């Protein structure tokens, strides 16, 4: 997905939030904003938003000297999610269609995203998790692809969401590689966050090699690319992975909550929508998702 004009003010908003998480020194924060502003004239609108976001967060780290501004928020998100784990498992076990229930849980977990918004209501989202219509619903082909798959590559997104992902991984019962960010960026899950969420017990954890809050294939490690190419099913969680992989055509399914107006417009879905999109099926234009798998 390319960068939209609407993304540009948002880069500064994200910089402000990240810098504010790293320091209370207003002069430092202004220095970060100035640095990001100086980058704006050089933005290629053809590159994906996470490419610019990578530079934004590198600047935050460089100027504030804080390598992981969201460390504490990430810990709290994981603890909060772990406290829900037993209930999530029970909901899957009691569901008429456990796989569908686990997919929906994984999508709602994507709400825990400090890159998209600083405020979200997980309790409210959980209440509608099994009732809300998917705005793009390629579940039938997801189930089919999963049934035939031997190995799954699962591209994680945010810390805390990791626990929701674990529920889906446990439900799928496939050999799974869980991919995390190489270094801390926003509240995205790293190796440490994945282990803290208990993912090491159910999957092989693999850093992507990429520094972006997304998956920029040209920046990923050989190890990652091998797993990605060989996977029978790739699950891509969240907006950042979608923004960087939306043009890919592998056995790739995007699971996400729509949290920004630009992605809403791009997908033809409402803010707050739950999306399960097969990369090989149409669904990137308004209403197409409503036609389901048959398109």
Binding-site ranges for a copy of itself (CB under 8 A): 5-6, 8-10, 12-13, 16, 20, 26, 29-30, 33-34, 37-38, 40-41, 45
Question: What distance, in Å, lies between the first and last C-alpha atoms of the chain?
Answer: 22
Least separation in angstroms between CB 283 and a copy of itself? 25
* Nearest residue (CB) to a copy of itself, 40 versus 124: 40
Least separation in angstroms between CB 16 and a copy of itself? 6
Least separation in angstroms between CB 13 and a copy of itself? 4
Name the burial class of residue 171, with classes exposed (0-12), middle (13-18) and buried (19+) by CB atoms within 10 angstroms of its CB: buried
As a whole number of angstroms, the longest Cα–Cα distance in the chain is: 56
Residue 191 to residues 1, 130, 184, 244, Cα–Cα distance (Å) = 26, 30, 9, 21
Dihedral over Cα of 237, 183, 73, 260: its sign: negative
Least separation in angstroms between CB 33 and a copy of itself? 5
* Nearest residue (CB) to a copy of itself, 29 versus 107: 29
Q: Of 105, 226, 238, which Cα lies nearest the Cα of 177?
A: 226
* Nearest residue (CB) to a copy of itself, 40 versus 140: 40
* Nearest residue (CB) to a copy of itself, 63 versus 205: 63
* Nearest residue (CB) to a copy of itself, 8 versus 82: 8
| Dist. CA 84–CA 175, nearest whole Å | 25
* Nearest residue (CB) to a copy of itself, 25 versus 223: 25
Least separation in angstroms between CB 105 and a copy of itself? 33
Contact present, 107 and 135 (Cβ < 8 Å): no
Least separation in angstroms between CB 44 and a copy of itself? 11
Contact present, 239 and 263 (Cβ < 8 Å): yes
């Amino acid at each position: 997905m390319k960068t939209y004009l609407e993304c540009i003010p948002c880069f500064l908003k994200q910089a402000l939030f990240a810098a504010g998480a790293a320091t209370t020194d207003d002069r430092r924060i202004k220095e970060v904003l100035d640095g990001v502003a100086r980058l704006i004239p050089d933005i290629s609108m053809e590159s994906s938003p996470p490419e610019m976001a990578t530079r934004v967060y590198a600047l935050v780290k460089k100027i504030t000297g804080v390598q992981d501004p969201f460390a504490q928020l990430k810990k709290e998100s994981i603890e909060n999610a772990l406290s829900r784990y037993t209930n999530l498992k029970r909901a899957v076990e009691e569901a008429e269609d456990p796989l569908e229930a686990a997919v929906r849980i994984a999508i709602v977990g994507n709400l825990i995203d400090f890159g998209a918004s600083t405020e979200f209501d997980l309790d409210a989202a959980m209440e509608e998790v099994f009732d809300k219509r998917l705005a793009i619903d390629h579940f039938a082909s997801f189930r089919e692809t999963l049934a035939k798959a031997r190995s799954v590559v699962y591209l994680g997104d945010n810390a805390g969401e990791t626990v929701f992902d674990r529920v889906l991984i446990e439900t799928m019962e496939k050999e799974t590689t869980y991919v995390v960010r190489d270094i801390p960026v926003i509240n995205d899950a790293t190796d440490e966050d994945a282990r803290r969420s208990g993912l090491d017990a159910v999957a092989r954890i693999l850093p992507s090699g990429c520094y972006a809050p997304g998956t920029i294939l040209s920046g990923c490690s050989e190890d990652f690319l091998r797993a990605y190419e060989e996977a029978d099913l790739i699950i891509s969680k969240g907006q950042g992975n979608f923004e960087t992989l939306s043009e890919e055509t592998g056995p790739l399914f995007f699971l996400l909550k729509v949290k920004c107006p630009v992605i809403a417009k791009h997908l033809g879905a409402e803010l707050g929508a739950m999306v399960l999109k097969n990369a090989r099926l149409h669904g990137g234009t308004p209403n197409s998702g409503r036609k389901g798998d048959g398109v």
